[in-house]
Chains A and B, each alone.
Chain A
Amino acid sequence: MQQLSFLDSHSSWTVTDLTRHLRELLESDEVLQDAWVQGEISNLSRPSSGHIYFSLKDSGATLRCVMWRNAAARLNMPLQDGMAVEVHGSLGIYEPQGQYQLYADIIRPTGEGELYQEFLRLKAQLEAEGLFDVERKRHIPELPKRIGIVTSPTGAALRDMLNTLRRRYPLAEVILAASPVQGSEAPPGLVAALQNLDRIIHPDVILLARGGGSIEDLWAFNDERVVRAVFASKAPVISGVGHETDFTLADFAADLRAPTPTAAAELATPVTVDDLRNYLEDAGSRLKAALSAELDQRHYQIDGITSRLRYFSPVRRIQTEMQRLDDLVRRGNAAQAHRLALSSANLRGLGQRLGALDPLGVLKRGYAVLSSKDGKIVSSKGQVASGEDLRARVQDGEFEVRVTGLED
């Protein structure tokens, strides 16, 4: 019976069907389609097609791997046999050979994943402790007198920073505290450099910098000791580690994060020597303008005061009085003249009237005055006797006359 059932065509697979079935099983398993596998590279082969073939193995097993040309072009590290790596990809079956294999899309050195996990753990811990708090970020001084630099004395980073500082703000004094920036000596070296600068130099700002490199090269700047030293620094710290895309924990703890060492030097000198020249020019103009304004103000006041002074001046009053006097005199004279004119006219009238009353005036008109010898004016015939001599007075003299023809 067993024999028969074995021969039953409905209960047997073709190799192709079986293989396809297995392949579908693998490809429908989400875990196997998004897997990280670690092992050691062996049998590495890179034919001219651009695809990469290798095996991953450890002490107990071997896994065939393929990396297609497109993914291989994105590799950022050279591969070689014996290298310990972690490979990401999806599991499938190469049907012609019945070979299950890993179709790789990412390869990274073993340990990077662990490093990253450690990075995240430490970041969370330090963040919880408040080392990255935005509120504690300190202000970067605008005119730093002393700029401390913590970096390698031989790297391009230092040269870039010095050039930038020299160009932007040569008034500063730069003090380098040299330290290794990668390897196991880097963290204690960086910590000592930061502490020494603070303790001995008291810089206004510290640049903590390193040029670009692999993530391992930059790892010292994720070291907890270094991060805590950045946090503890008395001077504000500007970090400029690696390239723009690199973020280290020291960056998070720094008061200001610059994408590169050059940018760190720029951020440390927010005011440049050109700005200073402009400010200086401006201050000079303002100084002159302020003094002119002061003087103008005084002239204005002086003008105001002297015009008031003139108004109330005794000179002015005297002038006024003199003018009034002149005026009075003028008016007085006019009145006087008028009076005199009037008087002389009156006088003439009076004279004429007097003349009319003068008895001598009558004589001029041909009359004569008679008087007796004893001087009495004769105005009646009763006063005289016939033959009596009288004196007659005419306009221009006297003579005697005798009374005759006296009637009774």
Chain B
Amino acid sequence: MDKPIEELTYEEAFAELEKIVTLLETGQRPLEEALALFERGQSLGKRCAELLEKAGLKVQQLSGENLESFEEE
């Protein structure tokens, strides 16, 4: 819950979203907390959708110890 949402990877964001959904689905929690969880969940969902939209396979080549860009033919 600490990392800013715009820095989360898809996997992190989605994992947290799932956790929040489960929390909300299973427990009675204080209203204020439930609302905060919901808002966080909505932001995470938005982040995931954005990441899916702009995803493009990144291909690099290992050259010695270094990574360099790989030009596909």
Contact = CB atoms under 8 A, between A and B. Distances in A.
A174 B60 contact: yes
B14 A283 contact: yes
A298 B31 CA distance: 9
B65 interface: yes
Describe B's contact surface by its main secondary structure: helix
B72 interface: yes
Interface in A263-313: 273, 276-277, 279-280, 283-284, 286-287, 290-291, 293-294, 297-298
Contact of A294 (B14, B31, B49): B31
A196 B62 CA distance: 8
B1 interface: no
A331 interface: no
Contacts of B14: 276, 279-280, 283
Contacts of A153: 61, 70
Contacts of A169: 57
Interface in B48-62: 48-49, 51-52, 55-62
B5 interface: no
A391 to B, nearest CB: 105
Nearest to B46: A284
Contacts of A276: 10, 14, 48, 52
Nearest to B31: A298
B72 A162 contact: yes
A284 B41 CA distance: 8
Contacts of B65: 200
A380 to B, nearest CB: 109
A283 B14 CA distance: 9
A154 interface: yes
B56 A170 contact: yes
Contacts of B21: 283, 286-287, 290
Contact of B67 (A175, A280, A286, A290): A175
B34 interface: yes
Interface residues of A, number: 38
A363 interface: no
A227 interface: no
B55 to A, nearest CB: 4
Contact of A174 (B29, B59, B73): B59
A176 B62 contact: yes
A323 B67 CA distance: 89
B28 A145 contact: no
B7 to A, nearest CB: 15
Given A294-B34, A297-B28, A178 B42 contact: no
Contact of B58 (A154, A174, A177, A197): A174
25 contacts: A162-B59, A162-B72, A165-B57, A171-B51, A171-B55, A174-B59, A174-B60, A176-B60, A176-B70, A177-B62, A178-B61, A178-B62, A201-B62, A273-B52, A280-B17, A280-B45, A283-B18, A284-B42, A286-B25, A287-B17, A287-B21, A287-B38, A287-B42, A291-B34, A291-B38
Interface of A: 143, 145, 153-154, 159, 162, 165-166, 169-178, 193, 196-197, 200-201, 273, 276-277, 279-280, 283-284, 286-287, 290-291, 293-294, 297-298
Given A159-B73, A175-B67, A280-B17, 12 more contacts: A143-B10, A159-B72, A175-B61, A280-B14, A280-B45, A280-B49, A287-B24, A287-B42, A291-B24, A291-B38, A294-B34, A298-B31
